[in-house]
Structure 1
C-alpha cells in the first residue's frame, strides 16, 4: 500500500512516510493509492474478536509497512479496559421499540470523546512510523480545536518522548471552558493557546504552516518534523474506518441485518469531515452502507454542497451551542471530492482552485449526481437543541450530549421525509457532562443555570440522569482555572518558533 496526494503531484509515499509527514508537499492530502476490498466472511469475522483485534485487522489493510504483531500490540494497549471499559465501541439500541436505530458508543474513553479512538493511536503509530523511516527526528504536532480534540491531544501526548503538541482553541470553545481547566495538567511538551479565530480559520492557518517551506526547513534544521494531529493527517482517519467496519460486523453478526438483503445508513457529524471521509472509505471497501447522512447545524456549507451541488463561502461563521459542528466547509472536503469524483485529481484541483480563488464550488451535473448517490445531509437548528435533548430523554431515558441528540433528530427527520427502510447507526460522540450548561437548561429547566456554578450543575445533573461522572470532568471541576495565552490570527508560525525557543 502506498499513499498519493489528492492533487496528484506528490510522489507516492509509504504509510510510515505519509503518517510522519502528515500532508504531502503539493498542498493536497494523503489518500491510499488503492482501497482494500473485503467480503462477507472478513466483515463477519470482526465481531467474533475483541475490539482491539478487530481494529488491528482493519489497520493492517492500510498500514502495510507495520507488522501484524506491532499493530495488534498497539491496539491491545490502547483499547484496554483501563482506557475504554469492557466494551469499546459497542453498538447499543436506543429504543427497545425501534429495531432500526442504534448508537455506536464512542464516548467511553479517557476524555469521554470520540476523539479518543483516533488520538490515543497517534503516539504509538507515529513511533512505529519513525522506526520505519529511520529519520531519528522529534515530531511537533499542531491541532486546531473547538475543545474535545485539543483536550484529547494534550492528554494523550503529555510527556511523550520525542513528541510535542500545540493545541489552538478556537473562539467557539466548549461551554464548560474545559480547555482552561486542563491547562495546569498539560505536560512539559504541551502548549495550549486560545485564538479569536474560528476553527475553520485555525485549520486553514495550520495547513498553511505545514506548506511553509521556510518554517518546515527551519524546524528540520533543529531536528523537528512539523506535522498535525488534526484529521488532515491520515493517522486520524484510519481508526474511524475501523469502528465503522466493527459496527457493521456487529449488526450483521447479531442478525439485525442479513448480508445481501439490504444496507444500513450511517449518521455522521460534519465537523472537520473526518467521520464522513472514514465512512466513505468503509463503504468503498465493501461495507454495506447504503446512505451516509451528514449532520450540520446552521453552518450548512457542507450540507449545501451535498444537497445542491454548490457552495458559497460564508462571510461570518455562526457560533452555536453545537461547537463541534461550527465549521462551514471542512478541510477534508478535499478527500470527499477526490473519492466522489472517481479519484480524479485534476477535477478535484479545479474545484479546489475555485474555492481558494473565488470562495465557491459549483459541481457539474454528473458530479452532483455522483455525490448524491450515497450522500445526504440534514441541517439542524441548534437553537432547538434543548427541546431535542428533552424529547429524546423523555422517550428513551437517554441523556444524550447535544451533538448526538442533534444527529438523532436529523436522522428521524430524514427518515420521515425519505420513508427509508435503511436501519441506522448514529455516532454517540461525547459525554453529556462536557456540555453541562446546555444539558441543565434542557433537563432541569430553562434559566436553571443562572447563579449556579459548574460544580453545582454537574452534581445536580448527575443526580437527574444517574450517569457516573467520567474522571476527566472531575479533574476539570476541581482543577485550578488558568487563562490560556492568546495567539492572534496569522501568528501561529511565529508562535511555533517562540515556543520552541528558535525565534
Structure 2
C-alpha cells in the first residue's frame, strides 16, 4: 500500500515519498511526515540473518513506497559499498558494559555518511520519477559533519549542485579542512560569520522565500535540502537501529523480544527520532536516552516540557551538538499533538517569534519513551579517559557525551537493561579534544592537528583513518565567507544569476 506524506504544519498533504525527498522542506515551512509509521513486516529472527543492505531494503521499502524494488535496491547497492571500511557497514563494539554502534565507517568518518551516502541516489531517482528536469540545488547548513558527508555524496552527481554553509570557528579543524578540500565542480562551501543556528535559520529562510524559488525556477534550478529535515535523511537512519538489534540477536547477546535502551548524542534530534521510529515499527526499545552537551536545550525540554532557545550559545568540543534549535523535534511535537498540524504550527510560530513554547501534559505523557540527560565538557573528558584506560576502547567527544549521560542514567535509575550507544564519529575527527582527555593538555600543546592525530593513533594502537590521511596534503579549494544577511546574495553569486 502506498504511503503518503504531509506537512507537520498542514499546508501540504498527499505527497509521495519521492516528492517529499525531492522537495526536502514542505512549502509551508513544515517537515514531511508519513501518514502512519508502518510496522516491520519481517520477523526480527529473519532480520538477524540479513546483511546491512538487505536490512536497509526491508526497512526503507515500507516508507519509500513509490520507489520500485529495483530502484530502491539499486540506490542501496550504490550507497553501502566499498566506500565503507567494514563489510558490516555499522559494526557493534562491546565495551564498558554497553554496545557501541559504530556509525563512522563511511568516507567522512561520521554518522552522517549512513544517510548521505544514499540520499543523492534517492534524490536523482526521485527527479526521474517526477520528470523533474531542473537542476537540483542542495542547500545545507552544517554544525560540522553534515556538510562534508553531503558534499561527498553529491560530488559530481549529474544534475545537482550543493552549497554548504557552516559557522566560521564553530567546527573542528579536521571538519573544516574536510569541507574546504572537498573535490567536485558542483560543490561549494561558505563560512558564515555566526553560529550554527544562524546558518540553519538562514537556510530555512531561503527555502521559505517564494520569490527566490520563482527566480531560481525561471533559471532552471530546484532548491532541496540534505539536512535531516529531509525525510530521505531520516528513513535511512532507522535502518541502523534495526540492524543493531538484529546483530545483538544474531550474536546471542539478547533473546528474541528482549527490550534494549538506546542512547544518542543529540543536536538536531534526527538521529534519536530515527530510533523512535524504529520503536514504533516494532523494535523492542524500552527507553530512548537523549544526551546533550552544555547546550542542554533538549534536556531542559524533556525535564520541564518547555522548549526555550533564549540562552547563551556555548561552543564546546562536541560541536555537532552545539545547537539551540533542534529542527527534527518538530516531528515528535506533531505526533504528540495527535498529528494536529494547526496546534504544531502554533507552537513553531511561538518558537520563531518568542523563542520558546510549552507543551501540554498529554503531549509530555506521549513523549515518556524519552529521557533527557546532559554532560559537561569535564564529564565528557572523564568518560573518554575512563573508558580508554579501563577497556582500551577509544571514543570521540560526541560519543563521550552519550557515555557520560548513560552512566548518570544507570546511577539515577538502577536500570541495567542492555544498552546500545550511538557512536557518531571517529575519535580522529576530534583528535585534539580526545587526546587531551586521554593524556592531558601537555600532550597536545604546540602540536598541529595532524601531529596530534598521529600521536593519538600511536597511543591507541590503531591506524589513522584514510579520511584524515587524505586531507593532510589536499589543497584548499573553498575559501568563501559571508555575513548571515548575505546568504541569499551568496547563493545567487554561486549560481551566477545576479
**Partners of 1:175 and 1:353 in 2: how far apart?**
33
1:275 matches 2:271: yes
**What per-residue deviation string (whole Å, max 9, x for no partner) do you get for residues 87-135 of structure 1?**
111222114xx3xx20111111111110111011111111110111012
1:470 matches 2:465: yes
1:451 matches 2:446: yes
**Partners of 1:5 and 1:185 in 2: how far apart?**
34
Q: 1:483 to 1:227 in 2, by over 3 A?
A: closer
**Partners of 2:450 and 2:184 in 1: how far apart?**
25
Q: 1:60 to 1:339 in 2, by over 3 A?
A: same
**What per-residue deviation string (whole Å, max 9, x for no partner) do you get for residues 394-452 of structure 1?**
11111111111221111111111011132111011111111121122122322322221
Which residue number in structure 2 is paired with residue 79 of structure 1? 80
Q: CA deviation at 1:78?
A: 1.5
**Partners of 1:6 and 1:182 in 2: how far apart?**
32
- The DSSP-based 3-state class of the residue aligned with 1:447 is helix
Structural mapping, 1:353-368, within 5 Å: 353-368=349-364
**Partners of 2:20 and 2:277 in 1: how far apart?**
17
Q: CA deviation at 1:172?
A: 5.1
Structure 1 moving runs of 4+ over 3 Å: 480-483
**Partners of 1:169 and 1:380 in 2: how far apart?**
24
Which residue number in structure 1 is paired with residue 326 of structure 2? 330
Which residue number in structure 2 is paired with residue 104 of structure 1? 101
**Partners of 1:482 and 1:82 in 2: how far apart?**
22
Q: 1:70 to 1:482 in 2, by over 3 A?
A: closer
Q: CA deviation at 1:482?
A: 6.2
Q: TM-score, normalised by structure 2?
A: 0.96
1:33 matches 2:30: no
1:178 matches 2:180: no
Structural mapping, 1:228-267, within 5 Å: 228-260=225-257, 262-267=258-263
Greater Cα offset, 398-407 or 482-491 = 482-491
- The DSSP-based 3-state class of the residue aligned with 1:281 is helix
Q: CA deviation at 1:82?
A: 4.1
Q: What are the ranges of 5 or more consecutive residues in structure 1 without an aligned counterpart?
A: none
Greater Cα offset, 491-500 or 306-315 = 306-315
Is the CA contact (8 Å cut-off) linking 1:181 and 1:481 kept in structure 2?
no
Q: 1:279 to 1:181 in 2, by over 3 A?
A: closer
Is the CA contact (8 Å cut-off) linking 1:176 and 1:436 kept in structure 2?
no
Q: CA deviation at 1:9?
A: 2.4
1:293 equivalent among 289, 294, 299: 289
- The DSSP-based 3-state class of the residue aligned with 2:18 is helix
1:10 matches 2:7: no
**Partners of 1:276 and 1:185 in 2: how far apart?**
28
Cα RMSD, aligned residues only = 1.7
Q: What are the ranges of 5 or more consecutive residues in structure 2 without an aligned counterpart?
A: none
**Partners of 1:48 and 1:72 in 2: how far apart?**
18
Is the CA contact (8 Å cut-off) linking 1:142 and 1:167 kept in structure 2?
yes
Q: TM-score, normalised by structure 1?
A: 0.95
1:435 matches 2:436: no
1:191 matches 2:149: no
Which residue number in structure 1 is paired with residue 374 of structure 2? 379
